[in-house]
Structure 1
Amino acid sequence: MARIASESLIERLVEWGVDTVFGMPGDGINGIMEGLRRHRDKVRFVLVHHEEAAAFMATGYAKATGRIGVCLATSGPGGIHLLNGLYDAKLDHAPVLAITGMQETAVLGTGYQQEVHLDRVFEDVAEYNMMVTNPEQLPAVVDLAVRTAYARRGVAHLTIPNDVQVAEAGEAPFAHVGPVRAPQSTAAYLRPPGVPRQEHLEAAAEVLNAAERPALLVGAGALHAREEVLAVAAALGAPVVKTLPGKAVVPDDSPYTTGGIGLLGTRPSEELMDDADALLMVGTNYPYTKYLPRPEKVRVVQIEADPARAGARMPTDVPMVGDARDALRALLPLLHPREDVSHLRTYQKKTADWRSDMEALENPERDPIAPQYVVSVLDDLAAGDAIMTCDSGTIATWAARHWTIRDGREFYLSGNLASMAPGLPYAIAMQHAHPGRQVIAYVGDGGFAMLMAEFLTAARHGLPVKVVINNNNSLGQILWEQMVLGFPEHGVRFPDPEPDYSAWAVSCGGFGAKVTKPGDVAGAIGAALAHDGPALVDVAVNPNEPPMPGKVTYEQAKKFAQAFLKGQPHRAAIATTLFKDRIDKFGD
């Protein structure tokens, strides 16, 4: 049997260390599927139920391992379905390779069935984007695609016509005008030097040593630099604020952190951003600039891996290009250990008070069930090295504030794209990458319903993911956003009856439990975590629980009140919940 070009593709991916491809077959990639079949002993194909999930899985795999994630889709609609997950990779800087099919070269441009020129469609999302038209291009374009995805921390895309997929490997079917040879490459990526220039390090140290009220803001680019972040924080006597994608940079119970930033962040972090006179940004390109310090009040030092993003968010006194861990190690000897730690002590007290307020909201007696309580049970029962994946919405608020990073725990969500539905696909990919670890998808009912078929994927592949659904039978985040804008809610609550997703889990061969009473939450979650296989707990939570910001501005409060006056249909239930929350936080 002749060796086909698709085998050359798969063999080169193997040389790059690829062991998994997430995807869904179609008639536009039958040749590539044959290449995977012939090399099934080296690369596992994870069959999904929707191509969007395949792209989310590849992105989650890349985020959790640092290795390139690979997804595969057929021509036309299959490739288009990948886009949402690929934009998640693009915006969160995860290395992903998307491979798609294309019609035979002989019919391109004739309006053939499913003729969508995916190389053009992917122009915005992909850092490297190529239609392969000659079998001899492989494996060189594979090398360039993978190397570019790593170097630019983004998406690469190869689309391969059907006839090229099944042509003889290495064949050059066209006569050349002159001598032409396909380039010979190396399946290796060399990480650029991670230490910034010495003069930049010295300038950074000068700014930080002169500060009276320094602070650190750390993001996903510092996830591998926990010890270095804590050492610099100790030297400066500086509190550490974390972006949500960077939640796992330092433990939540560390004496140095004030928690998260932004709409889902904490009151101490927001106050610190107003108070700091120097800010060290490490591994973050935090986009919500309204939550950052006012430029005229703070001096800024930034450590950024991408030269294009260094100093891009706010005026920066010392932008440095380098790896977070390498740069902090080089910076640390230049810092003067601070003797006066009163600034740090102030924020330790503020943070302790905030944590006490949050713990008060985890009241197991509240009925309907408080979503904060559900996450607190997960936090208590989950393993010390558990991985939590999360969807966007109110659930991100509850996870940000009530899921505690300690020991080896990790946390992932769609950061900059803030897409619904990645929680379950992320969990499946991460469970595949880390088979010995506990992986929990904490998702909303809206996001789960979008890609719920992938629970069947987990069951069929024997992946023991645990899914906990925060079921408020609504699109909760949008509900509250409408009210903050002063609009009574509209079109955000699903009609009754509330679905029972646990029945779907059982029908897939997994564990399923529906919880409607607070007294049953701990037992159901404990049973799910102990189950030897995929498990799902569908918890009916209070739909009127507000995801309040760390600090409520006057304008937000005014708009919220206006929504009530305009005829908020659930104002009585919302008012009752707000009253109970206040009692829980401050006592009676």
Structure 2
Amino acid sequence: MDAQNLDWIKVAHVDDLPEGRVKTVTARTTSICLSHFDGQWAAMDNHCPHQRGPLGEGSIEKGTDGKCWIRCPWHGWDFDPLTGAPPGGHEDTGQKVFPLKIENGEIFVGIEAEPEHERTVTDVMAETMVNWGVKRVFGMVGHSNLGLADAIRLQVNKGKLGYVGIRHEGAAAFAASAYGKLTGKPAGCLTIAGPGATNLLTGLWDAKVDRAPVLALTGQVQTQVFGPGAFQDIDLKSAFDAVSRFSQPVLSTSNHAELMSLALKTAIVERDVSNLIFPDDVQTIPSEKDAGSPEGRIGGSKVTPSTEDLNKAIEMINGAKRPAIVLGYGAKDVRDKVIALAEKIGAPVMTTFKGKGLIPDTHPLAAGVLGRSGTPIASWFMNEADLIISLGSSFANHTGIAPYKPIIQVDFERMQLGKFHPVSLPVWGEIGTFCEAVMPQVTKDSDAADQVSELVERWQIWREEKERRLTEERGQGIHSAAIFKVLSELCPEDAIIPVDVGNNTYSFGRYFEPRGQRILMSGYLGSIGFGLPAAIGAWCATQDFEQYHGRKVISISGDGGFGQYAMEFTTAVKYGMNITHILLNNSELGKISKEQRSGEWPVWETNLTNPSFAAFARLCGGQGHRVTDSADLKSAIGEAIAHNGPSLVEIITDADLV
């Protein structure tokens, strides 16, 4: 090895390794066993030729002749530190050794200049991801996805992808789900085979049932050991079939660009989960194929309702004295058109819980959330309405749209129309197109009720009731109404608010008054633990899309939900994420306790033993506040929101005051 043509890479300082010890160091991407013995230093390939055992985790052993050997920790194979030769008796001839020099106490190892990267099938597929607009991957690098991970790394280094290394794969799936819900664009989830892949399933189900596009990228064992029961070999195709609209293995004979293109097209068009399974040995197969792209692969998304349906809808709207609109999550991208329709006909707009915030509560026609997590305002207008116009709602039982009312339901998916019960007029079409089509011909009836004045009255009644509830505190924790009153005042109007599940979420739906904030939740799955990982996904969207730049992310959970993925707070610290987490701590699974009592069950095994979460946040490197008195809420929450980085406000709450 010509020393003149080597790259000299600093790997350690002489103080890092005592006499008689070995250590693993890395020179660029080469793993090296560094040894210090008899006043000498040596560098050897770190992988034992037997089963690639890590020699840097082994030991220096002296034979009876006083000669030093490096002993592999796995099976005891020995090698001369200076030559790499074995003492004899092994099939292999020995280990590669590297030139070493010491300058000013710094240890340098000479390695050959890095060869030009040879393009692989996973490079083709990563480039295809970029071409289709994928901007972010959440995941964990491991032994069965290293080739794929390197292809992603190259795109990250080029500034074409962003990557977040999480602590648990379930958090990666929840982050990607929230990212898809917010942006409508798929993010990737990277895992190894076996347990890494199966850890994704809960978050992927969350994405599936809430119609968020996600791309799951799962490593797999080598193709030659499929089936017999190799380490971490499970049938991933079967495991992902139910949760994914598209799930395929990546084989050596696959059309790799086309496979990735189909996965992404499915995720985007179907608003669903796509899964690609990457056997370890396929990931590094050389390829000179071109990457795929979306050009000519996706058409427009407008579906115009039939003239007959539009005419019937106009007739019903113009004949109503008390029309009301239910604005659901499915109309999130056309909410301005829905609000314009409401203004034209003077209809109150109530939202589903998933749709909370799509119309600000400050709007004259806002009626708040309808259903279990809602306000008495929305319930009152539902009961009084003589026509319900349902736009983007799935008619979940939590929402409680009265099935006996005359209902116009608009949806671009025909299977959603009248899914749970018949409606008066099911309209197949895109919601924005429907609003545009009926707007010129609908009017407010001259005899229609003045529902705007009624809304003012109903809001006044509700706000007075919320103020009375603030007096209910009994020294056992802060009332949820007090928390969300302060948050309503302090939360930036353009904030993104991921919420968890449980009593904290019901209280949020009831008491928080949105003024333009975007709210994310685990809707149909209702999965505990969603809040903090979703905040990570939302923060990444603020980095990846101009329309979200600068928006604060404020997540909310109970202590039960936060405990599911608490270590992801260190992920937020690692990447400097500007996230504030509001944690309502009542030391129990309060919603379940409530259900046990209401069902005449004994309250059993819902109590929780917690650390100081505020102290935990500080130990992780973030900001942490603990609040036990409602008088301190404003200062603690205000300081946390103003902090540019991860912050947590732990609020001790009364489980019965929700």
With normalisation by structure 1, the TM-score equals 0.86
Q: What's the CA shift for 1:361?
A: 2.7
Q: Is the 8 A contact 1:215 1:272 kept in 2?
A: yes
Q: What's the CA shift for 1:53?
A: 0.4
3-state DSSP class of the match of 2:281? helix
Q: In the alignment, which residue of structure 1 is the partner of 2:266?
A: 148
3-state DSSP class of the match of 1:281? strand
Is 1:355 aligned to 2:463, yes or no? yes
Q: In the alignment, which residue of structure 2 is the partner of 1:281?
A: 390
Q: Is the 8 A contact 1:61 1:433 kept in 2?
A: yes
Is 1:291 aligned to 2:405, yes or no? no
**Cα distance, 1:316–1:161 mapped onto 2, change above 3 Å:** same
From 398, 409, 414, the counterpart of 2:522: 414
Residues of 2 paired with 1:287 and 1:7: CA distance? 43
Q: What's the CA shift for 1:508?
A: 1.3
Q: What's the CA shift for 1:87?
A: 0.7
Q: Is the 8 A contact 2:132 2:293 kept in 1?
A: no
From 235, 243, 247, the counterpart of 1:129: 247
**C-alpha offsets along residues 172-199 of structure 1, whole Å, 9 cap, x if unaligned?**
xxxxxxxxx9999747533332332222
Residues of 1 paired with 2:311 and 2:460: CA distance? 35
**C-alpha offsets along residues 115-137 of structure 1, whole Å, 9 cap, x if unaligned?**
11111111111111111223542
Q: How does 1:236-247 map to 2 (within 5 A)?
A: 236-247=345-356
Amino acid in structure 2 at the alignment position of 1:206: E
Is 1:523 aligned to 2:635, yes or no? yes
Q: In the alignment, which residue of structure 2 is the partner of 1:384?
A: 493
Is 1:253 aligned to 2:362, yes or no? yes
Q: How does 1:434-583 map to 2 (within 5 A)?
A: 434-435=542-543, 436-495=550-609, 498-545=610-657, 547=658
Higher relative contact order (CA 8 A, sep 6+): 1
Unaligned 5+ runs, structure 1? 172-180, 548-588
Amino acid in structure 1 at the alignment position of 2:186: I
Residues of 2 paired with 1:370 and 1:38: CA distance? 50
Q: Is the 8 A contact 2:331 2:391 kept in 1?
A: yes
**C-alpha offsets along residues 112-160 of structure 1, whole Å, 9 cap, x if unaligned?**
1111111111111111111122354211111111111122111111111
3-state DSSP class of the match of 1:361? helix
Amino acid in structure 2 at the alignment position of 1:205: I
Q: What's the CA shift for 1:54?
A: 0.2
Q: In the alignment, which residue of structure 1 is the partner of 2:155?
A: 39
Q: How does 1:60-71 map to 2 (within 5 A)?
A: 60-71=178-189
Q: In the alignment, which residue of structure 2 is the partner of 1:561?
A: none
Q: What's the CA shift for 1:224?
A: 2.2
Is 1:327 aligned to 2:429, yes or no? no
Q: Which has the higher helix share?
A: 1
Amino acid in structure 2 at the alignment position of 1:519: A
From 305, 308, 322, the counterpart of 2:415: 308
**Cα distance, 1:14–1:185 mapped onto 2, change above 3 Å:** closer
Q: How does 1:340-351 map to 2 (within 5 A)?
A: 340-342=447-449, 344=451, 345-351=453-459
Q: How does 1:82-101 map to 2 (within 5 A)?
A: 82-101=200-219
3-state DSSP class of the match of 1:264? coil
Q: Is the 8 A contact 1:6 1:31 kept in 2?
A: yes
From 306, 309, 317, the counterpart of 1:200: 309
Residues of 2 paired with 1:441 and 1:13: CA distance? 29
**Cα distance, 1:135–1:409 mapped onto 2, change above 3 Å:** farther
3-state DSSP class of the match of 1:512? strand
Q: Is the 8 A contact 1:16 1:188 kept in 2?
A: no
Amino acid in structure 1 at the alignment position of 2:447: D
From 512, 515, 536, the counterpart of 1:428: 536
Q: What's the CA shift for 1:525?
A: 1.3
3-state DSSP class of the match of 1:164? coil
Residues of 1 paired with 2:327 and 2:286: CA distance? 50
Residues of 2 paired with 1:184 and 1:392: CA distance? 38
Q: Is the 8 A contact 1:15 1:187 kept in 2?
A: no
Larger Rg: 1 or 2?
2
**Cα distance, 1:348–1:202 mapped onto 2, change above 3 Å:** farther
Q: Is the 8 A contact 1:358 1:401 kept in 2?
A: no
Q: What's the CA shift for 1:227?
A: 2.4
**C-alpha offsets along residues 395-429 of structure 1, whole Å, 9 cap, x if unaligned?**
111211222221x3111111111111111111111
Q: How many aligned residue pairs are there?
A: 532
From 15, 21, 26, the counterpart of 2:131: 15
Structure 1 window deviating more from structure 2 (86-95 vs 246-255): it is: 246-255
3-state DSSP class of the match of 1:469? strand
3-state DSSP class of the match of 1:98? strand
**C-alpha offsets along residues 198-244 of structure 1, whole Å, 9 cap, x if unaligned?**
22211211222222332211111112223222222223332212111
**C-alpha offsets along residues 50-91 of structure 1, whole Å, 9 cap, x if unaligned?**
000000110111111121122111111111100111111111
3-state DSSP class of the match of 2:245? strand
Residues of 2 paired with 1:143 and 1:164: CA distance? 18
Amino acid in structure 2 at the alignment position of 1:528: A
Q: What's the CA shift for 1:532?
A: 2.2
Residues of 1 paired with 2:626 and 2:144: CA distance? 41
Residues of 2 paired with 1:37 and 1:145: CA distance? 21
Amino acid in structure 2 at the alignment position of 1:460: K
Q: Is the 8 A contact 2:367 2:377 kept in 1?
A: yes
Q: Is the 8 A contact 1:128 1:148 kept in 2?
A: yes
3-state DSSP class of the match of 1:291? coil
Q: Is the 8 A contact 1:150 1:189 kept in 2?
A: no
Q: How does 1:87-236 map to 2 (within 5 A)?
A: 87-134=205-252, 136-169=254-287, 186=295, 188-236=297-345
Residues of 1 paired with 2:396 and 2:294: CA distance? 37
Residues of 1 paired with 2:230 and 2:213: CA distance? 32
Residues of 1 paired with 2:197 and 2:450: CA distance? 53
Structure 1 runs, 4 residues or longer, greater than 6 Å off = 181-185
Q: What's the CA shift for 1:164?
A: 1.4
Amino acid in structure 2 at the alignment position of 1:309: Q
Structure 1 window deviating more from structure 2 (512-521 vs 153-162): it is: 512-521
Amino acid in structure 2 at the alignment position of 1:425: P
Residues of 1 paired with 2:295 and 2:238: CA distance? 28
Residues of 2 paired with 1:387 and 1:447: CA distance? 18
Residues of 2 paired with 1:517 and 1:65: CA distance? 37
**C-alpha offsets along residues 526-584 of structure 1, whole Å, 9 cap, x if unaligned?**
22112221111111111222x4xxxxxxxxxxxxxxxxxxxxxxxxxxxxxxxxxxxxx
Residues of 1 paired with 2:446 and 2:580: CA distance? 46
Q: What's the CA shift for 1:343?
A: 5.7
Q: In the alignment, which residue of structure 1 is the partner of 2:444?
A: 337
3-state DSSP class of the match of 1:434? helix
